[in-house]
Structure formats: structure tokens, C-alpha cells
């Protein structure tokens, strides 16, 4: 009897520790840019507006061989932030016993991560969750591939990239303490075709 009470207390402690578990996010610079500029200027809206259009599309999903990736639960926070869940489907096999035999049963599972976009700064915070993926960089690339499937990205012939911000604390302090910005740097992704 005493042992059962001890196990219950231990289980209760484990559940309490899981409830207090910290959630970790990694910051990425989200970029949508044109692969090649057109000869005649068109109505290309620019990075912030393109991100907004892509995230506001009614349904974003991408199906691979056995998995499907999709965005659910989009919420707009203020004017410039969007929070959503990036989910995928998978089949998890469990073993059941019917009295005489063991057999495998496939159950659907939908692991997800939280993603927060700041559209003005074009910064994306992606949750680290080992149920979804073992590496946050892999999650970022899967999200970039999903966003590349949107109609707006295809219409303007754009590319979607997520570059990890390696030391976000230092970057945020530089931006916060800056009284003015003197230099602007940019990355050229592809060779311009003439």
C-alpha cells in the first residue's frame, strides 16, 4: 500500500515538471525576394507585404510521400505580428494484443510547433520541439518550402529563405541602442541575368 502512494507522488511530480517545462525558440531572418527582376516594372509589393499575403492565404499545405505539412490556428497580434501552428501528419505504429497474437496498428499523429512572425522586422521565432523535428533548422527549411508553395510567391517568381540569427541578444541590443543607422548591408542571392 505504501509503495502505491509513493508511485502516485512520483507520477504527480513528473507531471508537474512537464507542465513547468520551458519553451525555446530560435530566431530567423525571413526573406522573400525575387529570383530575377523583370524588364518592365510590375506591381511587386515588397518583403513585408509579401510575407503578409503569404501568411494570410486561406490554406497553405504541402503533401509529400507520406506526410502533409500545413499551417493552422493563425492569429494576428497587433498590426505586425502573426502567430500560428506549423503542423505535420505522420503515422505512429503501436503494438496491440488481442489475446493470442501481437499486431501493429497505425495511428495518425499531428505534431506541431508554434511560429511567431514579426512582419515589419521580417523576423521569425520558431519553437524547438523534438516531437516535430530533431533540429530547428530543419523545421525552418520545411516552413520555407511550405511558404514557397503559396500563390503569391509563385506569381512573382520569388524565393523564400530563413537564415538563423546566431546571436539574437547582441543584435537586439545593437538595434535598441542605435540612435541612427548609417550603413545598410544587403545580400545578393543570385547572379543577375542580362
Question: What pLDDT shows up at residue 48?
Answer: 79
Assess if residue 93 is contained within a domain.
Answer: no
Assess if residue 125 is contained within a domain.
Answer: yes
Kindly report, residue by residue over 125-167, the tens digit of the pLDDT: 999 988 888 899 999 999 998 888 888 888 888 888 899 887 7
Assess if residue 21 is contained within a domain.
Answer: no
Assess if residue 118 is contained within a domain.
Answer: yes
Kindly report, residue by residue over 35-60, the tens digit of the pLDDT: 777 666 677 777 778 888 888 875 67
Residue 70's Cβ-count burial label (10 Å; 0-12, 13-18, 19+) is: middle
Degrees to nearest 5, angle at CA 147 with 144 and 151: 150
- DSSP, collapsed to helix, strand or coil, labels residue 6 as helix
Q: Which percentage of the chain shows pLDDT scores above 70?
A: 77
Assess if residue 153 is contained within a domain.
Answer: yes
Residue 161 belongs to domain spanning: 26-60+73-84+113-177
Number of domains composing the chain = 1
Assess if residue 33 is contained within a domain.
Answer: yes
Assess if residue 78 is contained within a domain.
Answer: yes
Assess if residue 185 is contained within a domain.
Answer: no
Amino acid at each position: 500500500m505504501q509503495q502505491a502512494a509513493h508511485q502516485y507522488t512520483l507520477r504527480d511530480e513528473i507531471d508537474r515538471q512537464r507542465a513547468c517545462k520551458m519553451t525555446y525558440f530560435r530566431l530567423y531572418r525571413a526573406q522573400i525576394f525575387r529570383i530575377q527582376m523583370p524588364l518592365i516594372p510590375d506591381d511587386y509589393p515588397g518583403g513585408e507585404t509579401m510575407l503578409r499575403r503569404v501568411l494570410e492565404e486561406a490554406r497553405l499545405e504541402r503533401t509529400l510521400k507520406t506526410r502533409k505539412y500545413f499551417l493552422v490556428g493563425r492569429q494576428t497580434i497587433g498590426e505586425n505580428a502573426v502567430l500560428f501552428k506549423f503542423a505535420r501528419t505522420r503515422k505512429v505504429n503501436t503494438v496491440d494484443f488481442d489475446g493470442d497474437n501481437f499486431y501493429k496498428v497505425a495511428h495518425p499523429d499531428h505534431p506541431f510547433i508554434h511560429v511567431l512572425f514579426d512582419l515589419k522586422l521580417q523576423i521569425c521565432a520558431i519553437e524547438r520541439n523534438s516531437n516535430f523535428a530533431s533540429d530547428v533548422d530543419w523545421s525552418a527549411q520545411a516552413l520555407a518550402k511550405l511558404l514557397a508553395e503559396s500563390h503569391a510567391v509563385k506569381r512573382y517568381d520569388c524565393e523564400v529563405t530563413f537564415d538563423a540569427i546566431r546571436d539574437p541578444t547582441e543584435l537586439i541590443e545593437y538595434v535598441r541602442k542605435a540612435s541612427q543607422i548609417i550603413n545598410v548591408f544587403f545580400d545578393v542571392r543570385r547572379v543577375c541575368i542580362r
